[in-house]
Structure 1
């Protein structure tokens, strides 16, 4: 069995596939590029919904600015861990933007927020905050570029780690056999986008690459016994 990863994997992640007897192909479906930005005010409540956003923030803010952050609200355990490594403690970690927005509305509605995001960010979080009159200043810190590569074959599974990755792959492969593969997604937000293009979509148990791989291995092994 052969799977395709739309993100180049780390050595330990590749080992998980090889030890399970799976062959794999890998490439980067998207490429991110940081965008220069300036801040005219001290940071109080910060929202970060991706590792790319966290990296851009950490690469461009001074130690003094990072220390001035009173509360950080994140999406995903990896985003939280990356922020914590650089001294930014998280007040709340959510599974997705909608869950985080609802938490903020319920518990911090009268406080202002600064949202560090990509130029192609999803709408759920900012829309919900705006509808509930939560002040949220958006700062664009990176942009995403699609890397088009087509595969005229069917894979036993394709790994997706973001809605942008799904869209990039689908755009390049809408007329190929690859679109008939099973999509294994890192979370429900990515899966929602995948369902627009794939007939079979499987969601990982946790929002990590390792969990996505484990879910694929378990699913494919069970299917091979049928």
Structure 2
């Protein structure tokens, strides 16, 4: 039976997708999130950019009134909607959102809530195209380093930080399954055996694992 390592603890229904396909699972959290205490002068913001669910979670306790959300990722926009925010735009990639803002919302001002580790692509595009925006760091990503002695038939990665955390103590000797191209770019520093999900969701990563390793 094939066995994979997930660098993120999965929900029960996600685990079942693997186990019901006859694939063994070992899981741990390669990274952890620490929310940062922050303060804002204005607690009413017209246009907010979220590129992760963690940023949404970080502002919920601050009684910040948000008029419009611009989101990256299905899970991010889903959480924003669940919490009652008005999602005006959502894209799978930060670059796509930035280009949409530049094209259609260039007269508006934005507030970008982010983590301490994030790609520069979106802020640089906004800055280079004279889009007014403010950025506040609201959470930190910490690496949970762990050494594994076992061999796996595949490793699941969901962020560049997850790759960085795992490879700090381990080598990539097997096929890796990545949630998106940004994560894959980090994995390429260590291996060429990379399979990228068709859509940037955990379920799509698992679907790639099942189609590749089922009956192995």
Greater RCO structure (CA 8 Å; 6+ sep): 2
Check whether the contact 1:113–1:136 (CA below 8 A) recurs between aligned residues.
yes
What TM-score, normalized by structure 2, do the two folds share? 0.94
Aligned length: 214
C-alpha contact 2:21 2:214 (8 A) present in aligned 1: no
Q: Which TM-score applies when normalising by structure 1? A: 0.90
Residues 1:52 and 2:49 are matched in the alignment: no
Asked if structure 2 preserves the Cα contact closer than 8 Å seen for 1:96 and 1:189, the reply is no
Task: Look up the match of 2:195.
Answer: 202
Partner residue, 2:88: 91
Deviations 1:35-93 (A, max 9, x none): 011111220110000111111122x232xx33xx2221011110011111110021111
For structure 1, which segment, 49-58 or 75-84, has the greater mean C-alpha deviation from structure 2 after superposition?
A: 49-58
RMSD: 1.4
Give the conservation status (yes or no) of the 8 Å contact 2:47–2:70: yes
Match of 2:124 among 127, 133, 138: 127
Q: Which has the higher helix share?
A: 1
The aligned residue for residue 33 of structure 1 is 34
What SS does the corresponding residue of 1:120 show, helix, strand or coil? coil
Pick which of 19-28 and 89-98 moved more: 89-98
Unaligned runs of 5+ in 2: none
Alignment partner of 1:165 is 2:167: no
Alignment equivalent of 2:178, drawn from 185, 193, 196:
185
- Quote the Cα distance in structure 1 between the aligned partners of 2:36 and 2:144: 18
